[in-house]
Amino acid sequence: MNKKIYIGNLNYDTDEEKLREAFAEFGEVASVNLITDRYTGHSRGFAFIEMATEDDAKAAIEAMNGKEVDGRQLKVNEARDRKDSDRNRRQY
């Protein structure tokens, strides 16, 4: 089963291929989703990567959290379910 991880504090010039290469050394990367602004198409500075197994994801999180990529120190952790993050949003 694929395990999704969150990558934050990305350099705005970092692309999906660079992320795939960086995380591939810890296991099979099932998918890379670089989040972009819907109007400009520019990176928003974070991404989600799905690793093929939970063990691969844990290894990637431990190794890549705090590692510098393209001049920025990455924040890497397990992605939360969208339902969990929706509860944390403000209600207007």
pLDDT of residue 28: 96
The SS3 of residue 4 is strand
User: Domains of the chain, with CATH numbers?
Assistant: 3-40+51-79 (3.30.70.330)
Q: pLDDT tens-digit profile of 49-87?
A: 999 999 999 999 999 999 999 999 999 999 988 775 555
User: The pTM is what?
Assistant: 0.84
CB 22 within 8 Å of CB 10: no
Q: Helices (DSSP H) in the chain: which residue ranges?
A: 16-24, 54-64, 82-87
Predicted pLDDT at 74: 97
Residue 1: predicted pLDDT? 76
